[in-house]
Amino acid sequence: MTTDDIEEIKTALAAMKEREAPTRRSTIRAEDQSAAAQSDLAELKALLAANPDLGKLAEILARRDKRRDSLPAQQHRRPDAQETQAAATAATQAINARRQALSILSQPFTPPYYVTLDTPIAFLELPHQDLSIIQGSGIRLGWSWVMARLDTNHSPDGYSTNTSFQFYFLWQNPSDNSAVVNVSSSMYLQGYAYASGSWAIISGNTATLTGTVYLDVIRWSGWGADPDTGQSNDQTPYPGGYSKTTAVYLQGFGGDLFYSAHPAQAIFGLIPYGVSASLIAIPGQAWTMFEVGLQVGWDFGGATGQDQSVIFDIATDGGIAVCPFVQIEVLTGPPT
The ranges assigned to domains in the chain are 3-30+78-330
Q: Pairing mode, if any, of strands 134-138 and 309-314?
A: unpaired
Cα torsion angle, 22, 23, 24, 26, sign: positive
Reduce the DSSP state of residue 75 to 3 states and report it: helix
Neighbour tally for 110: CB within 10 Å? 13
pTM above 0.85? no
DSSP string covering 284-296? TT-EEEEEEEEEE
Low-confidence ranges of the chain (pLDDT < 70): 20-88, 90, 93, 100-110, 128-131, 157-158, 333-336
Reduce the DSSP state of residue 244 to 3 states and report it: strand
- Tell me if 146 sits within 8 A of 313, measured CB to CB: no
H or E segment and range at residue 320: strand 320-323
Residue partners of 297: CB distance under 8 A and separation at least 6: 26, 27, 28, 160, 161, 162, 208, 209, 210, 212
pLDDT of residue 224: 94
pLDDT of residue 51: 59
For residue range 75-92, list pLDDT tens digits in order.
445 566 666 666 667 677
